[in-house]
Amino acid sequence: MRKLSLSIILSCACLSVLAQSQQSDEAPLSKTRALYDAPFTRGMVSFDCAVQFDWKKHFVETLGQVPPAALPTVDRLQKIEHRIFVDRSGAVVSETPKAADLTGVSHGADLEQALQAMVSAGLNAWLPFATNVILPVKPTKASFQTEGADYKLIMSGTNVAATLILASDMRITSGVSTLPQPLRFETEFIGKSGGYLLQSLKTSSDISPDAKWESSFEYAYQTVQEIQLPSLVMVTQHATPETWLYSLNDCKAVTGVTLRVEAPKQ
């Protein structure tokens, strides 16, 4: 269980470090960035939600059944309530109203730790797209090149070496970085009135084109205070494979100053 948690967390950490390193300020990038619905650039400061997870369903989908010996543990875990807090620095899961005492609950602490890791991993993987830092901002050098019907965005700078592939409608479809860490990913976006929203993400620390994916993330959305936030998150570790599906409700957003990125005048 700990191996599963670490694998996904490392994938998210690589993506986050890459995103935070990317920087540029050219007109084409500003126009591209404006096509994406990134709530942290449109006035949102943070949000928090209640987390809903069905332990019995998880065991059935993973093992085919809930082993009789595991029933007391599953029943105890199901009673624990969680909330997740998300801001630009990351996602943090907490038990409410206080941390549960799982002393004497067989594998209870390990399973609770794994759940919290998966819940935070799902939102941390989404965060670079919600802050729109997956696209570079200055001073990192960035240049567009045409590649058939697609565009290749090449980035270079201090401890940054990465390439993004964008479709003709400027949706990011994939990316590869060698610095700050090896990372390969593929993405799918859905179009909404406010802009493109991340629908799915696959990641791998092996940048070989034929390497298998290590982790996958899928998202559905809800409107909270006129902001699009995840309502359903699915996290999959392909080596196991094990899928963690959870929902977010009772969400509350804190808003502040709206940041607008405008293309420089010609």
In a domain? residue 262: no
Q: Residue 4 pLDDT > 90, yes or no?
A: no
Over residues 72-130, the pLDDT tens digits come to 999 999 999 999 999 999 999 999 999 999 999 999 999 999 999 999 999 999 999 99
In a domain? residue 263: no
Percent of residues, the chain, with pLDDT higher than 90? 69
pLDDT of residue 249: 97
pLDDT of residue 5: 42
User: Lowest mean pLDDT: which of 79-93, 143-157, 189-203, 236-250?
Assistant: 143-157
Quote the pTM value.
0.86
In a domain? residue 257: no
**Six-digit token string for 119:** 């819940």
pLDDT of residue 170: 93
pLDDT of residue 3: 43
In a domain? residue 158: yes
Q: How many domains is the chain partitioned into structurally?
A: 1
Which of the four pLDDT bands, split at 50, 70 and 90, describes residue 139?
confident
Q: Residue 22 pLDDT > 80, yes or no?
A: no
In a domain? residue 232: yes
In a domain? residue 190: yes
Q: How many CB atoms lie within 10 A of CB 41?
A: 18
In a domain? residue 260: no
Q: Residue 205 pLDDT > 90, yes or no?
A: yes
In a domain? residue 195: yes
pLDDT of residue 93: 98
Q: Domain span at residue 230?
A: 2-250
